[in-house]
Structure formats: C-alpha cells, structure tokens
C-alpha cells in the first residue's frame, strides 16, 4: 500500500484514484489590500507566501489528471444568503456588501471575489461558491465528490483556522480521509495556524493528517504519476 509521509503517521493512499485537491478561498478578498480580510483589520500580505506552494500542488494534480476543486467565499448580490449575524459581526471598516476598492465586499462575481491570477482555474476545473466558512455548508461539494468517487482529500488554502479547518472538520465527519498541507495553508495569526495543525493531528489524527507539499507530491508521484 502506498502512503504519504505525514503526521501523526503515514497517510494511506486509496487503491483506486479517489483523491482530490481542495483549494480553499485563494481569492483576492483575503490576499490583497482592499478586500474582506483587510477590512477586518488583518495584514493580508502574510498570506502571499503560500501561493507558490499551492501552485505546485495544483500543477502536480493537473499533471496526474486528478480532480481539483477550488472554493470562493461569497454572497449573492442581494445578500439573501448572508445571515445578518455574519454581516453585522465585529466592527469592520467595510461590511459584506459595501462598495470597496475591489468591488462590493465578499459578493460573488465582484473583482475582489476572484481567485488570484496565479491560481486561476483552467477551463473545466470546478469552482464552488460558498456562503459559509465550511465548504460543505449550502454547496454541492459533497454531491460532486460522490460523482468523482472521491474518498481522500488534500486540503490547502486560507485561512487555516477559519475556512480551512471548518472544511476539514466537515469533511472528516462525512467520512473523508483528510490531509492538510502545512506549507500550503496560512493564517493572519501564526499561532492559530500552529495550533490548528497540532489539534487536527492530535489524538491519533482526530480530524486527519498534516504534511508538507514536498512529501505530498512525492507520495502522489509514486502512486499516480503517469509512466512515460
Ligand atoms: N477572516 C478569516 O480569517 N477568514 C475568513 O473570513 N474566511 C476564510 O477563512 N476563507
């Protein structure tokens, strides 16, 4: 049985091809000034560091012909899918739906809601809009994963302790084997990222596994690389 070197122990790969990459919310709203992350008072620049690593994972999945799902957090233009609790929470300089430098904050289709150009999906790759922090809540993700016969999920994106961890917990409860890629996820708060990595792999992998992109790609190549 092939596996990826991981913590708290090696991550067993499926015997069939039931593996997918989920890239969470690598959208301008969280990575560029003038978006939702900035409006919440965060230093958005620190999320940029993972972009080349996420890109390497994306390229590896593309080369192996394995499915990639990207998500974007955003709301309908009438905010009908944005609970008032979400819009009103905190004391943000700009609230969800307000006009900002990259269009209306966290509204689907606005410039700020777009995936950063480096990670733009190719035609045919799936982008899932999501109104919540988790990627399963009020989306068709579970349906799509069943269609693709996916049992194993590699997870990347931002932010580690908010949308990434929520999605990983939702996936774990649905029976997916989840591997979080340590250097392909980032938080505005380094200590929250570290705590998330530790809590998901504690207690024998209570939520799943963690590993580096290098280990993940090496393990995937040994299992799935197309032979010349
Ligand atoms: N604020 C924050 O850390 N994250 C979010 O609001 N959304 C995601 O994590 N994508």
Catalytic residues: 25, 130, 163
Give me the pLDDT at residue 91, please: 82
CA-closest candidate to residue 211, choices 57, 65, 24, 51: 57
Cα of 227 to ligand 1 centre, how many Å? 39
Between the CA of 97 and the centroid of ligand 1 the distance, in Å, is 16
Query: Mutation test of ligand 1: which of 32, 36, 74 has the most ligand atoms closer than 8 Å to its C-beta?
Result: 36
CB proximity list for 219: less than 8 A, separation 6 or greater: 2, 3, 4, 5, 11, 13
| 56-94 pLDDT, tens digit each | 999 999 999 999 999 999 999 999 999 999 999 988 889
Q: How far from chain centre, in Å, is Cα 225?
A: 23
* Smallest CA separation from ligand 1 atom 10, residue: 163
pLDDT of residue 226: 66
- Enumerate helices (H) and strands (E) in the chain, giving the number of each: 8, 10
Cβ burial, residue 16 (10 Å; 0-12/13-18/19+): exposed
pLDDT confidence of residue 95: 95
Q: d(Cα 13, Cα 152) in Å, to the nearest integer?
A: 8
pLDDT per position as a tens digit, 32-43: 999 999 999 999
- Residue 15: predicted pLDDT: 83
Q: How many angstroms is it from 134 CA to the middle of ligand 1?
A: 10
List, in order, residues 6 or more apart from 11 with CB less than 8 Å away.
3, 4, 5, 177, 179, 209, 211, 219
Q: Which helix (H) or strand (E) holds 53?
A: helix 51-64
Mean pLDDT for each consecutive 10-residue tract of the chain (228 residues)? 94 92 98 95 96 98 96 98 95 92 97 98 97 98 97 98 98 98 98 98 98 97 78
**What is the predicted pLDDT for the residue at 92?**
86
pTM above 0.95, yes or no: yes
Q: Which residues pair with 129 in a beta bridge?
A: 72
């Amino acid at each position: 049985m092939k596996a990826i070197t991981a913590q708290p122990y090696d991550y067993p790969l499926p015997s069939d091809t039931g593996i997918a990459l989920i890239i969470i919310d690598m959208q301008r709203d969280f990575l560029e000034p003038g978006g939702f992350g900035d409006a919440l008072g965060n230093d958005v620049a620190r999320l940029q560091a993972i972009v080349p690593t996420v890109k390497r994972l994306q390229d590896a999945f593309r080369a192996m012909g394995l499915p990639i799902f990207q998500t974007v957090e955003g709301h309908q233009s009438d905010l009908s899918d944005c609970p008032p609790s979400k819009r009103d929470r905190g004391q943000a300089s700009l609230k969800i739906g307000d006009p900002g430098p990259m269009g209306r904050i966290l509204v689907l289709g606005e410039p700020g809601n777009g995936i950063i150009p480096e990670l733009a999906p190719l035609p045919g790759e799936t982008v899932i809009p999501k109104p919540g922090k988790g990627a399963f809540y009020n989306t068709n993700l579970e349906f799509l994963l069943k269609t693709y016969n996916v049992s194993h999920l590699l997870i990347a994106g931002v932010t580690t302790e908010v949308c990434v961890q929520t999605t990983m917990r939702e996936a774990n409860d649905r029976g997916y084997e989840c591997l979080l890629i340590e250097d392909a996820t980032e938080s505005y708060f380094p200590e929250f990222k570290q705590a998330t990595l530790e809590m998901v792999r504690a207690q024998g992998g209570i939520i799943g596994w963690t590993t580096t992109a290098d280990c993940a790609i090496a393990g995937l190549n040994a299992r799935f690389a197309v032979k010349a």
